[in-house]
Structure 1
Amino acid sequence: MTDLNSKPEIDAPEGPAPEGLEIVDIVVGDGAEATPGATVDVHYLGVAYDSGEEFDSSWGRGQSINFPLDRLIAGWQQGIPGMKVGGRRKLVVPPHLAYGPAGSGHQLSGQTLIFVIDLLGVS
C-alpha cells in the first residue's frame, strides 16, 4: 500500500533512459482532474535517472508547492494533465522535456529525470 503522507522512494532504474516521456500511475486519485493550464498543488521528489541521486524534493522543505502548469518543465506540462487529486504518478522525463541538452546553462541540462508527484489540489 502506498502512503501518500510520506516521501516516496524511487528504485534505481535499469537499462538506458527512455527517449520519450514515461507516465506511470502509482496511485490513481479520485478527486478533481488536472487539466492543461491548471494550477496544481503538489508534493514531489526528483532524482537523476543515471545516478539515482535526489536533486530536489518538496518533502525536504516540509511543504507542497503550488504552480501554474504552464510555468513548469514540458515533462510536467504533458505528464500531469489527466491526473486526479489524491493520485501519485511517476514521470521519467528526457532532457528535451526537462532542462534541455547538456550545456544549456542549467545544472540538470542533458539529464533524464525521474519525478514522483503527489497531486494534492487543482484550481
Structure 2
Amino acid sequence: MTKVNSRMPQFLALAAGAAAVAMTLTACGGSDHSASSTQTSSVTDLFLPPGGESVTACPTAPPVEGVAAEWTLKGATGSIAVTGSTDTTAPSVVVSGPFKVSQTQVHTLHAGQGRAVADNATVSVCYMGVNGRDGSVFDSSYQRGKPVDFGLDRVVPGFQKAIAGQKIGSTVAVAMVPADGYPQGQPAAGILPGDTLVFAIKILNASR
C-alpha cells in the first residue's frame, strides 16, 4: 500500500484523530501525488481533477494588494473580508474584530465545474484557517504549499458543512460558530473556548 504523505493537522480532526484518517486513506490506496509513477489506477481515479491532471501544490504567493473582497460579513461583533485563492496566490482573510457569528455561514467565492462533493467524500483541499478573535492564521496548507486529503466524516462539523454539496474546483469560505469547531478550544492551535473560526478553502478533488 502507498503511504499517505499529506498531513492533516490534528486540530481539524474529530475525536478519532488524524491517525485514523491516515489509516482510512491508506486503506483506500493512499494519496501520494508526488510519486505518480507508483500510483495505482484506483488512486488516480480517486484524485483525478476535471482537467485530467493531478494537483500537487497550493500557491504560496501572498494575495495581490488592493483586490476587492469577494465576501464581506458583519458578525454579531466585528466583521471579515475574504478573497479566495487564485492559481498563483493564497487567499486573504481580513478580520475586524473580535469577530463572532451567531450561526455558521458558508459562502461560495467561485463555483467550480466539477461534480458535487458527497457528504462522506474523501477530499483534497488547500485551506487557510483564521481565528476571528484576533485575526491570526492558526494553520494553512498554502503556507506549506501542499494540499491535504481527508474524509469529511473525520473533521469538525463546520468544515464538513463548508465543503459537502459544493462542486469540485470551487473556492469557498466559512465562518463557524464554536459548536461547529471547538467549543472547548484547541490549545495546540491557539484556539480558545468560544472562538469563531474562519476558513478559506479550495476544493481540488473528491472521491466519487
The two structures have a TM-score, normalised by structure 1, of 0.89
Does 2:200 match 1:116? Answer: yes
**Partner in structure 1 of residue 184 of structure 2:** 101
Alignment length, in residue pairs?
120
**What is the rounded CA distance, in whole Å, between the counterparts of 2:114 and 2:175 in structure 1?**
23
Query: What is the percentage of aligned positions where both structures have the same residue?
Result: 29
TM-score norm. by structure 2 comes to: 0.54
Query: What stretches of structure 2 of length at least 5 have no aligned partner?
Result: 1-66, 68-83
CA offset at residue 5 of structure 1?
3.6
C-alpha RMSD of matched pairs (Å): 1.8
Mapping of 1:33-52 within 5 angstroms? Answer: 33-52=116-135
Q: Which residue of 1 aligns with 2:158?
A: 75
| CA 1:92–1:114: 2 relative to 1, 3 Å | same
- Partner in structure 1 of residue 93 of structure 2: 10
SS across alignment from 1:47: strand
Q: Give the number of the structure whose residues are more often helix, by fraction.
A: 2
Cα–Cα, structure 1 residues 52 and 34, in superposed 2: closer, same or farther, change >3 Å?
same
1:92/1:114 contact within 8 Å kept? yes
Quick one: distance in 2 between partners of 1:4 and 1:94?
A: 30
Report what 1:65 is aligned to: 148
Change (3 A) 1:16 1:9: closer
Structure 1 stretches (4+) deviating beyond 6 angstroms?
none
